[in-house]
Amino acid sequence: MDFIVGTFRHSLLYTLTFTPPSTLTIKRISEAVGGHSWLALSPNHKFLYTTCWTSPPQVASYDLSSDKPKPINTAPVATLSGYVTVTPDARYLISVGGPGGEVFALEANGSIGECVQTLHFRKTGNENQGQRIGVAHGDFGGLRHGAHSVDISPDGKMAWVADIGANCIWSLSIPESHTSSIYQGAKVQVLEEMQQYISPRPTDGPRHTFPHPNGKVLYSVQEHSSMVDAFSLAVNGTIEHHLSGVKIIPEDKDPKDYWADEVRLSRTSSPPKYLYASTRGLEKRTKGYVAVFRLDDKGQIDGEVLDMYETETSGGLANAVEPAPNGGDGVEYIALTDSEEGFVFVLSFHETEGRLKEVARVKLGENDEGKVIGAATAIWL
């Protein structure tokens, strides 16, 4: 099983191969147009889209048809992007970061076309509600005090933006007329704002969301409070109400020492059986965690944490988890990235044993100046 890993500050893309149960190797190192903190595949898996930690900031596209990712083109964005995603019809690329974002038309050859819509999330006076003053590691162009991610519903009719600074989740509709129409070069309203849902706690800071495939539950990882919350969704995809919340660090730990990172669902069964969530330590001396919870058939979080794995390092800027699409014999595999020491790990979760453990690791290495090449996020091919 192959997956690609980006970096934050080095113009490289790594293709890794994991051979169950315990072999992880670097298959290929490819030149990139910049550091790529987030990766997204096109629906047909022929193209890769990325954020770019460049100056000025950009988003980028790659062709995956050859042995290594081949750059296609880039497009400028107003502020550093934290997240990119592709609509299920492959017509648009959505980028979000800090105070706003962009929607780009996509061409048949995978290239990023014209920006057809700009997004603005500073409208309500809630700008500082979820703000943690004096954040460690920097603000990253407003990412830690603004919108950080965008995810699309399974039916392609709704997008959700997690906004750390406004302490909310924005629900934006994707009208059917735009998902079925052909882009003809004119400005269009691809996303329409419908709802701002304030997080359950004033200290949450929603970072990422992830929808259940049934379209009825949305999960949100809270960067500041180290919680994962489940929300009930209405038929139109807006958030109806809060279902439950679970802590993803040990009970005796202070959330002020952490910044939660990721929430994802298992991919080896339908419906998904497990929810995985990760946290990072704000300082090097504080190690992060990966937590796993059981989901019931309707997507609600079923009971207490099954296991909580302490990571090798704080995770640095990463500690991002990405479940693999394949497992075997009751085992699921999860890629875990680390930017502090440049490790990429594969964890396993065995449903009978009920615990997470490391089964493989590899280090990305150092550059010519001896600086660690820190892993950002992974995406399975």
Residue 29 is predicted with a pLDDT of 97
pLDDT at 90: 95
Q: Mean pLDDT for each consecutive 10-residue tract of the chain (381 residues)?
A: 96 98 97 97 97 96 95 97 96 95 96 95 56 62 83 95 95 72 53 90 96 97 97 95 98 96 96 97 97 97 96 97 93 98 97 94 93 97 95
309-282-81 Cα angle (round to 5): 100
Distance CA 148, CA 113 (A): 23
Query: In this predicted structure, what is the pLDDT of residue 126?
Result: 45
The SS3 call for residue 378 is strand
Q: What is the DSSP letter of 38?
A: -
Residue type, 361: R
For tokens 């997240």, name the residue.
83
pLDDT score at 180:
38
Angle at 264 between CA 146 and CA 151, to 5 degrees: 45
Q: How much is the pLDDT for 217?
A: 98
Q: What is the pLDDT of residue 179?
A: 43
Is the Cβ–Cβ distance between 58 and 84 less than 8 Å?
Answer: no
CB atoms near residue 44 (< 10 Å): 10
- Do the beta carbons of residue 174 and residue 193 sit within 8 Å? no
**Residues 305, 310, 311: CA angle, nearest 5 degrees:** 130
pLDDT at 127: 47
298: closest CA among 235, 230, 237?
230
N residues, the chain? 381
Measured in degrees and rounded to the nearest 5, phi and psi for residue 330 equal 75, 15
Measured CA to CA, the distance from residue 6 to residue 51 in angstroms comes to 10
For the whole model, what pTM was predicted? 0.93
Any bridge partners for residue 349, and if so which?
A: 332, 356
Burial class (CB in 10 A: 0-12, 13-18, 19+), 266: buried
Residues 6+ apart with CB under 8 A from 108: none
Nearest 5°: phi and psi at 189?
Answer: -100, 85
User: For residue 301, what are the β-bridge partners?
Assistant: 295
In the block, which residue shows the tokens 């603000």? 139
Q: Give me the pLDDT at residue 193, please.
A: 76
What CATH code would you report for 2-380? 2.130.10.10
Report the half-sphere exposure of 305 (CA within 13 A, side-chain side). Answer: 21
